[in-house]
Structure 1
Amino acid sequence: LLYLFHAFCLLDIFCKKKETKIILILSGNYRWRKLTVRTDNSESETAYPSVSQNSWPYQRYGHTVVEYNGKAYLWGGRNDEFGACSKMYCFDPEAVTWSVVPSEGEAPPARDGHSAVVVDDLMFMFGGFEEDSQRFSQETFAYNFKQRKWYELKTTGELPQWRDFHTACVINKKMYIFGGRSDLHGAFHSSRDYYSDVLKVLNLKTGRWEDPKVTGDCPCGRRSHSACKFFFFLKIYRVRNNKMYIFGGYLGTENRHLNELHEFDPATSCWRRLKPFGTGPSPRRRQCVVVVGERVFLFGGTMPSNSKKMDPVHSGLCDLSDLHVLDYAPTLKDLAANAVIKNRLNERFSDLIPDDLK
């Protein structure tokens, strides 16, 4: 099952404090279903205490969502009216409830555009744009789920540039940071955007930042792109994959949206541009990506609008609601379903096509 958090879109611009909706997609038959979600008012030891209406996260962008022990944890993000948020929210898919997660320690300032990954019982958060200080961040924080405690990670080596809307992936206890928006003048925004194409790696065992010497077809700098780690082992082909993939994003210095797919192999430190079969997504940014088994699901995002009627407040962008699937090991049934969709066979041969292919 896939869960989509309806966070914030251009059509919600006049209703910014609506609660976050949950929409469920069944990954087997690609059917959407909206969930009715409640807050958790239970007093049991395992439940997090709710805080009246604040147990629901309001709609936002630039937040992160990670999975830990079968639950989703949402932190940070902002909207233009209420600013950034520093609360941690937990969504329990079994109970279908939201709750506020209590925490202690040195919590990071409220921000958006940061990244977050989970290793064992720790969530590592890097970068973003801090609300109170109005500055880009280059610090790394960790949250211990068992202790419910934040602390700032003291790292060594050359720090990455201050940035927001980058991506992070963990492979073999190393966190790979790519892209994001920086400023030529440092931590504070001066409208002199800079988009780095340098890959930075934080060794989570030693706490040291590393600079791998990369080769190959490197992606250009960008922000608001997607990154995912993909691991699988195909016995029939004896292929083992444990690599990072980068898709899409926006290069502000050229006002260009992207839709290239790049692969990075940590074993060889080599980049490679991929050109999968099929019709890929259009150029876009702010999409979400998740890996399920041997498939990568990509949903939504924003792209430039060709409509001359677009309200100036929307900055010439339009929201997308399309779903794309990148399949690394398609079955014959998958290929047949794709042919049905591509050739609109369901419109002409509805009585002959099995229900699970319609």
Structure 2
Amino acid sequence: MAAKAADYQPVKRENHSTVRVGDYLYMWGGAQPGLPEVHNNEEKKSMCSVMEVCHLRTGRWEQKPTTGNPPLGVRGYAAATIGREIFYFGGHCNHDDCYHNSLYSFNVDTFNWKELSPTTSHHGPMMKHHCGMIAIKVNGEDYLVVIGGWAPSFDNTPKQPGAQYSEAKGIASSRQRCNEIHFYKLSTGQSTYSLY
């Protein structure tokens, strides 16, 4: 017997985020049962092309399909909101040492993904996960600020002048933590870093 829509609950997961826009919570990605340990394939794209939505007034969850291509950094990414857009930065790809520094937006009215800045190892922020991201307004302009993070030390962008990087010890000895601070100006699509 199929479960009623009111009985729907998202699958268990970790290393995801849930953000609020209006009267709704939007939960996406994370490590979850059956997520393929590959860079990209149809099964992974299918699993990541849905958004879990909770209506706060009723407590009812539902799973909704999305359009466009969702981020490949599905675990440990950072998220922040501005208006009706949710922004996603970085994340781990769920296989090997594959980390991202891409920036995506998700529109809660159209349920469409849009890549704003692709992953690249040629400029910062470093390809990472477990960083923070906040939305701020400066002189009437919207910015996203990406702070800190954790990633491999052997496959990454040039170090940010003035930032600190520390090698992890033990099992994760090829990883590093950082205190990078990057500002992304939404109106121009330009990323700059903070000087210390």
Assess same fold via TM > 0.5: yes
Q: How far did residue 314 of structure 1 move?
A: 3.0
Alpha carbons of structure 1 residues 161 and 298: separation in structure 2 relative to 1, 3 Å: same
CA contact (8 A) 2:8 2:62 kept: yes
Residue of structure 2 equivalent to 1:324: 182
CA contact (8 A) 1:221 1:251 kept: yes
SS for the counterpart of 1:320 is strand
Partners in 2 of 1:157 and 1:219 — Cα distance? 28
Q: Are 2:27 and 1:183 equivalent residues in the alignment?
A: no
Pairing partner for 2:89 from 239, 243, 247: 247
Q: How far did residue 203 of structure 1 move?
A: 1.0
SS for the counterpart of 1:252 is coil
Q: Are 2:125 and 1:281 equivalent residues in the alignment?
A: yes
Partners in 2 of 1:214 and 1:156 — Cα distance? 20
Alpha carbons of structure 1 residues 221 and 303: separation in structure 2 relative to 1, 3 Å: closer
The equivalences for 1:1-358 within 5 A come to 156-184=6-34, 196-197=47-48, 198-220=50-72, 222-231=74-83, 242-275=84-117, 279-293=123-137, 294-306=142-154, 311-329=169-187
Partners in 2 of 1:311 and 1:275 — Cα distance? 32
Q: 1:197-237: per-residue Cα shift (whole Å, max 9, x none)? A: 13211111221112222111222362111111112xxxxxx
Q: How far did residue 260 of structure 1 move?
A: 1.3
Alpha carbons of structure 1 residues 208 and 305: separation in structure 2 relative to 1, 3 Å: same
Alpha carbons of structure 1 residues 158 and 221: separation in structure 2 relative to 1, 3 Å: farther
CA contact (8 A) 1:249 1:286 kept: yes
Alpha carbons of structure 1 residues 221 and 209: separation in structure 2 relative to 1, 3 Å: farther
Name the aligned partner's letter for residue 180 of structure 1.
G
Alpha carbons of structure 1 residues 220 and 310: separation in structure 2 relative to 1, 3 Å: closer
Name the aligned partner's letter for residue 300 of structure 1.
G
CA contact (8 A) 1:168 1:177 kept: yes
Name the aligned partner's letter for residue 182 of structure 1.
Q
Alpha carbons of structure 1 residues 292 and 217: separation in structure 2 relative to 1, 3 Å: same
Count matched residues: 161
CA contact (8 A) 2:92 2:100 kept: yes
CA contact (8 A) 1:181 1:193 kept: no
- When structure 1 is superposed on structure 2, of 176-185 and 284-293 the one drifting more is 176-185
Q: How far did residue 280 of structure 1 move?
A: 4.1
Q: 1:47-67: per-residue Cα shift (whole Å, max 9, x none)? A: xxxxxxxxxxxxxxxxxxxxx
Name the aligned partner's letter for residue 131 of structure 2.
Q
Partners in 2 of 1:315 and 1:178 — Cα distance? 30
Q: 1:301-328: per-residue Cα shift (whole Å, max 9, x none)? A: 0110229x97443342101111100122
Partners in 1 of 2:66 and 2:172 — Cα distance? 38
Name the aligned partner's letter for residue 219 of structure 1.
P
Q: 1:30-62: per-residue Cα shift (whole Å, max 9, x none)? A: xxxxxxxxxxxxxxxxxxxxxxxxxxxxxxxxx
SS for the counterpart of 1:326 is strand
Partners in 1 of 2:181 and 2:111 — Cα distance? 31
Partners in 2 of 1:165 and 1:328 — Cα distance? 26
CA contact (8 A) 1:295 1:326 kept: yes
Q: Percent of counterpart pairs with the same letter?
A: 24
Q: Which has the larger radius of gyration?
A: 1
Q: How far did residue 266 of structure 1 move?
A: 1.1
Alpha carbons of structure 1 residues 207 and 326: separation in structure 2 relative to 1, 3 Å: same
- Give 5+ residue unaligned stretches, structure 1: 1-154, 186-191, 232-241, 342-357
Instruction: Name which structure has the greater RCO, CA cutoff 8 Å, separation 6+.
Output: 2
Partners in 1 of 2:168 and 2:111 — Cα distance? 43
